[in-house]
A and B are shown apart, each in its own frame.
Chain A
Amino acid sequence: MNTEYKWLCCFVLIMFVVVCVMLRTDETKAAGVYTGICFLVGATLSGTAGYLGMLVATASNVRTTVACHTSILSGLNVAFRSGAVMSLCVVGFGLLGMTIMQLIFQGDRDALHPPAFEYLSGFGFGASSIALFARVAGGIFTKAADVGADLVGKVDAGIPEDSPNNPAAIADNVGDNVGDVAGMGADLFESYVGSLIAAGSLADSNQQVALAYWIAGFGVLCSLVGIFYVMKRQLDDTAELEDLLWTIRYGIFISGGLVICFSILCCHLMFESTTAWNNFGCIVVGLVAGIVIGLFTEYCTSYDYTPTIDIDKAAPTGGATVIIKGLGVGMLSVVIPTLSVVVAILACNEFSGQYGIALAAVGMLSTLSITLATDAYGPVADNAGGIAEMSGEEFPDFARDRTDALDALGNTTAATGKGFAIGSAVLTSAGLIAAFTEQAIGTTPAGNLLFPVDLTQPVVIAGVLIGACMPFIFAALTMLSVGSSAQSIIVEVTRQFKLYPELRTEEIQAPKIVDGETLPNHGRCIAICTSSAIKEMLIPGVLAVFAPAVVGFLLGTFGLTGMLVGALTSGFMLAVSMANAGGAWDNAKKLREKNGKSKVKDARAALADGKITQEMFDAVDAAYHKLHEATVTGDTVGDPFKDTSGPALNILIKLMSVVSLVIAPVMKDMDDPTGLTEEGTLWACVVFLAALILTLGAMMYFNKVTPAAPETVDDLVVAYSAVQQAVAAGGVVAAEEGAGAGAGVDAADVTVEAETKAAAAE
């Protein structure tokens, strides 16, 4: 804890100084300091919320396993309560941090004077920076461990997913908490405060600012009602997955319904009839858009519906067709979320202008306490299953079955939560972009921009193109990071399996000392994941933080606006398609396991009864494994899609918007808001050229020296060289057998075997 706070303090202090210096102008010398203080508080609260949530989640996992020993409802109760701690911390710290900072900087001026929200953009920046690193690094960590553990342990060795024999099992459990609890919490903390900042910045009156705060405040109360409903609903122990799912859905619907009731009250107390209904309409549109996006995400990713079933049906033709189908499903799944957001933006703009868009985001996030709880409970249930598996005799099989059921429920709610997070990020970013243009360009008394952004201007088009490119660069960097980190884990797990071959069995093995090393060595896998995550997060992080500042100072306010719009557009599409494709692949694999395992079980029973022959059973078993392998390929590709790159894009688009809002006062002081001067054009070209060269250099450097790129063995080359050796030795039979063995994974064994046979033939 001491180390944690020491490094956190260093980071926020340095950024505090940076923000203070950057925003220090002659007119408002204190502006930089105020914004810097807000940054400091935002970063600290975001980090604290994620950290507390992670502590509670990791303490609750074993308690959930224990509770499942009693009943599945007890398990749900403990895990959901743990998720609720995370969500309530996020909401509580967000609301208190925002309001206290605002009251401090309000001073003696008029109530809710706009500059308070200029400073509060620093609060959002602080939250965003922590969110970005937690999400990106957490995503890389969790997927490197997950992919590595699955490929070598589950697919190759055939041992259970969470077997303690697998050296990457603990890293996998740790990754769930770092990525899905701390990362998701920081992500939604940012969205939550971002929506309030956008609404406050765009508000024209005290009532408009108050409405956003009141909706958020009452939203906590409404969500608590929903949370208690979920925890107190009586279900017997034979409850199906669908019953549990509906329990959570009812909780969310109850909370949403109550928010609507309170919204009517608040709007009609604060505004006259027409304005009240308009604002109320924005809140309802936001809430409904969030629910529609969540439900459609569930449709695309749940194995009860056509898209995922279709992916599973592609398994007989191999992994490639599974991947093609999944990509198609992911791309097609952007339609409904896009239309929902389009309708929300247009309707809210019609109701209450740009403030209405920000208010819709506030409405969507008003029930965050319960929606985040349903999301954060998933990793707890997942870890609970892992602990039941690793604890050996301590927990009976039925406890493991119950944790598996809770885990399956968590997967479904997590997919819905991701859709919700993306939708809220887009609405929040739209509000922040509107606030940025108002602050950086200025408005007429009628509320219109002094200089409207013209899309036909080259500088705007250049900005749009750069912005549209950013999510792809960001996603590529994170995907490559997961790939190289997972390779390192695969090599490490394979190494340990070779040193201690008994680890490849289902029976739990006692630790054993081999060559002075205690195996299985879980610590090495954790160390590999940690170092990879930290190293790999730096470039994407730097890119996201600096790109708006660099583009803004080179291409002016118009160019930066274009960049934000471009990033929002392509980032939204990419995030939705990646998250949904990944979720669909994951559940297609689960569907195959669900159907296939029962068939194998039936066949085994028939074999035991003597109704079928061993050959018939083997045919069923082999067919299942072939189909399962195809869906596992899809799931492995989809892992970084849905848990690393997709979710991180939410933060990218929000972070770039909020950084722009922070530098808006400086942008306003620039001589030419329409873009480049002649001298500026030259500098822009020089800087972009330098960026290009630096990027290429960095890519070459990291490809060359990264320790995460392991020495992998090409089985075909090894097997073929064994064939050549055997042929040279005159052993034709040995050569043929050596070539056949090339399809296996254990390349070193193939070499040894071929050499032995060649020697025998001699």
Chain B
Amino acid sequence: MAQPLVMVALDNLTAFESALVAIIGGVLALSVAGLFSVQLKAYNNGSKKFRSTTGWKRPLPTAADPESGAPPSAFWTKDCASWSEEQKADFQYGAPNGLKISNIVQYVCAATLSELNRALILVSISAGMALALS
């Protein structure tokens, strides 16, 4: 008995009612995507720190020593001199190389996509000319 009544109701679907399930699905998908993104961003403090603090630790970067003539160590920058204790711990127990490479890859990917979009303009101009001619 219930089925025919529901069918009658659904026979008069408005556009909004028809699209409602899809809208809910879309909102749900984007919400979960957002949630996952936040979780991923927070994961292991952005990979700055993942080792046990009782295990091996990376030596802190050192500046050049004019007296002995020793060059600066690989990760030395001027900022290193003013690092907080937390920044020092991130470096000693984290993955600075990995994070650096990841950031480079991300930067280059964004730049590449930007270049691609620039090229799309050429195509669109060609499209305009061709369609205008046709």
Contacts and interface: CB of A to CB of B under 8 A. Distances in A.
A191 to B, nearest CB: 16
A188 B26 CA distance: 16
A353 interface: no
Nearest to B118: A7
B96 to A, nearest CB: 8
A119 to B, nearest CB: 13
A328 to B, nearest CB: 36
A465 B113 CA distance: 35
Contact of B33 (A15, A67, A85): A85
A99 interface: yes
A537 B32 contact: no
Given A59-B41, A133-B119, A549-B134, A220 B29 contact: yes
A218 B134 contact: no
A54 B43 CA distance: 18
A123 interface: no
A270 B25 contact: no
A538 B114 contact: no
A134 to B, nearest CB: 7
B131 A174 contact: no
B112 to A, nearest CB: 5
Nearest to A200: B18
B17 to A, nearest CB: 8
A206 B16 CA distance: 11
- Residue from the set B23, B37, B116, B127 with the largest chain A CB neighbour count within 10 Å: B116
Nearest to A60: B40
B120 A391 contact: no
Contact of B10 (A270, A526, A550): A270
B130 interface: yes
Contacts of A420: none
A116 B95 CA distance: 52
Contacts, number: 280
B64 interface: no
Interface stretch (A89-97, A431-439, A443-451, A589-597): A89-97
A660 to B, nearest CB: 14
B82 interface: no
B99 interface: yes
B18 A85 contact: no
Contact of B29 (A95, A134, A510): A95
A138 B112 CA distance: 9
Nearest to A222: B25
A128 to B, nearest CB: 13
Contact of B105 (A96, A383, A545): A383
Interface in A14-52: 14-15, 17-18, 21-22, 47, 50-52
B106 to A, nearest CB: 4
B3 interface: yes
Contact of A88 (B3, B33, B101, B121): B33
B18 A112 contact: yes
A55 interface: yes
A131 to B, nearest CB: 12
A604 to B, nearest CB: 28
Contact of B123 (A88, A100, A270, A542): A542
Contacts of B7: 269-272
A65 B98 CA distance: 8
Contacts of B112: 141, 174, 178, 526, 529-530, 533
Contact of A69 (B41, B43, B50): B50
Contacts of B24: 217
A62 B99 contact: yes
- Residue from the set A94, A177, A533 with the largest chain B CB neighbour count within 10 Å: A177
B109 A178 contact: yes
A549 B130 contact: yes
Given A62-B102, A91-B26, A268-B3, A4 B113 contact: yes
Interface string A70-89: 00000000100110110011
A415 to B, nearest CB: 23
B113 A182 contact: yes
Interface string B91-115: 0000111110110111011111111
B29 A88 contact: yes
Given A8-B117, A11-B121, A538-B123, A387 B15 contact: no
Contact of B98 (A3, A66, A129, A138): A66
B132 interface: yes
B102 A61 contact: yes
A677 B41 CA distance: 63
Contacts of A58: 102, 105-106, 109
B60 interface: no
B23 A99 contact: yes
Given A85-B36, A98-B22, A63 B43 contact: yes
A343 to B, nearest CB: 28
Interface stretch (A207-215, A483-491, A605-613): A207-215
Interface in A356-394: 369, 383, 386-388, 390-392, 394
B128 A213 contact: no
Given A61-B102, A66-B47, A207-B10, A394 B97 contact: yes
A214 B22 contact: yes
A326 interface: no
B109 A213 contact: no
A427 interface: no
Interface string B1-14: 00100110011011
Contact of B97 (A89, A392, A549): A392
Given A95-B26, A218-B21, A542 B126 contact: yes
B50 A391 contact: no
- Residue from the set A54, A65, A66 with the largest chain B CB neighbour count within 10 Å: A66
B119 A103 contact: no
B109 A174 contact: yes
Contacts of B51: 69
B68 interface: no
13 contacts: A4-B114, A14-B124, A14-B125, A18-B131, A63-B44, A66-B43, A133-B116, A174-B108, A174-B109, A182-B109, A271-B7, A391-B95, A534-B118
